[in-house]
Amino acid sequence: MPNNDFPVFGSTNNSLLKKHLTKEIYYSLNDLKTSSGFTLDQAIKSGVVNDGSNVGIYAGDLESYKIFAPIFDKIIADYHNFSTSDSHTSDLTPPESGWANPDPEGKYIISTRIRVGRNLADMPLGTAISKEQRDEIESKVSAILKGLTGELAGDYYPLAGMSEEDSTRLIEDHFLFKAGDKYLEAAGLNRDWPSGRGIFHNHDKTFLVLINEEDQLRIISMQNGGDIFQVFSRLSKAVAILSDAFSFLYNDHLGFITSCPTNLGTAMRASVHIKLPNLAKNMEIFEKITDEYFLQIRGIHGEHSESEEGIFDISNKRRLGISEVDLLQGLYDGVLALINMDKEAV
């Protein structure tokens, strides 16, 4: 319910929400609701109560991006360098030329992971969804996943009623949801926990789908080493199968629609866990290279975590207005530049 009070942000809050939310924008939008009943106060709660937010705003549905456009458009422009007249084109076809492994000797890249987010076209996003709708998604998506064959065949593990043994194993594999994540909690994404949530993974643990986390589907391909092309080819195959089975929320301006505006467009984050011992001692040069290639540095336990033992998570920062294939080319070029710089710094 709108409370008519302009939010008070903490002094350490550096979110894009705090940067762009003016009183004028707030008061022009705070009594509006989308058809799923989603309000501005719900959209911004995560960024207001969590000073560590990078962005701090979530959509409840596609309509949120239109009704609350005065704030979303500013944040989208800032994060993705993308204007209201730009359009998005997706390209998930692995290029015939492929990409060589940027670290053929396996000295730097520990693992590669590419994920995309997807949400169903006829549903509100997870922030505004009802328990019945969430449970329905789980049952439809898990049914398709259980029917996958070949390399993608595997098992589905619902969070509700999960055995101690499965839970321990999934935690050890770093596959389990971040239970109690405060950012998702404040965004309304943990309601009715753990009902409707679960994890599918193939037998080799190189293909995973998280159901009803920040997005309804997080489709993930990952493996040890730096073979970006193989990881992308597997992802592309899985996404094609799921796109035949479901209609996903998409439009020509914003691409694939996701609950967090950082993921709009490709909804893809392609990352390598990489050891750069020499660059780690000179973050100024490190960040100069990552900025040049539009890459983001995260810690090894994901967003909002720190680097450990000189290992970094390097991924594409932009996701909108540029295709999946072009983003991967940028990651490849940037990772190669980082490795070369680390070698020179010896």
In the set 113, 197, 234, 298, the catalytic residue is 298
Q: Is 317 in the site for ligand ADP (CB under 6 A)?
A: no
CB of 224 to ligand ADP, least distance (A): 8
**Sites for ligand ADP among residues 157-186 (CB under 6 A):** 174
313 binds, among ligand IOM, ligand ADP, none (CB under 5 to 8 A by kind): ligand ADP
Q: Is 271 in the site for ligand ADP (CB under 6 A)?
A: yes
Q: Is 7 in the site for ligand IOM (CB under 6 A)?
A: no
Q: Are 334 and 314 in contact (CB under 8 A)?
A: yes
Q: CB under 6 A: which stretch of 3-11, 47-55, 202-210, 241-249 binds ligand IOM? A: 47-55
Q: Is 188 in the site for ligand IOM (CB under 6 A)?
A: no
Active site residue 218: yes
Q: Is 298 in the site for ligand ADP (CB under 6 A)?
A: yes
How far, in Å, are 119, 244, 265 from residue 231 at the CA level? 22, 20, 20
**Sites for ligand ADP among residues 187-226 (CB under 6 A):** 218, 222
Q: How many residues sit in the footprint of ligand IOM (CB under 6 A)?
A: 9
How far, in Å, are 129, 131, 178, 336 from residue 191 at the CA level? 9, 8, 14, 42
Active site residue 308: no
Q: Is 273 in the site for ligand ADP (CB under 6 A)?
A: yes
Q: CB under 6 A: which stretch of 52-60, 141-149, 169-177, 331-339 binds ligand IOM? A: 52-60
Q: 37 CB contacts (<8 Å, ≥6 apart)? A: 60, 128
56 binds, among ligand IOM, ligand ADP, none (CB under 5 to 8 A by kind): ligand IOM
Closest to 58 measured CA to CA, from 73, 69, 45, 70? 45
DSSP 232-296: HHHHHHHHHHHHHH-PBPEETTTEE--SSGGGTBT-EEEEEEEE-TTGGG-HHHHHHHHHHTTEE
CB of 10 to ligand IOM, least distance (A): 14
118 binds, among ligand ADP, ligand IOM, none (CB under 5 to 8 A by kind): none
**Residue number, 186 or 272, with CB nearest to ligand IOM:** 186
Active site residue 168: no
Q: Are 272 and 265 in contact (CB under 8 A)?
A: no
**Residue number, 68 or 99, with CB nearest to ligand IOM:** 68
Q: 55 CB contacts (<8 Å, ≥6 apart)? A: 15, 16, 17, 47, 75, 79, 260, 261, 262
- Cα dihedral 326/328/329/335 (nearest 10): 150
Q: CB under 6 A: which stretch of 33-41, 50-58, 172-180, 281-289 binds ligand IOM? A: 50-58
* Residue 46 to residue 260: CA distance in whole angstroms: 11
In the set 138, 214, 258, 324, the catalytic residue is 214
* Residue 69 to residue 78: CA distance in whole angstroms: 14
- The single-letter DSSP state of residue 44 is H
Residues that bind ligand ADP (CB under 6 A): 111-113, 115, 174, 218, 222, 269, 271-273, 298, 300-303, 313
Q: Could you list the active site residues? A: 115, 214, 218, 260, 262, 269, 298, 303
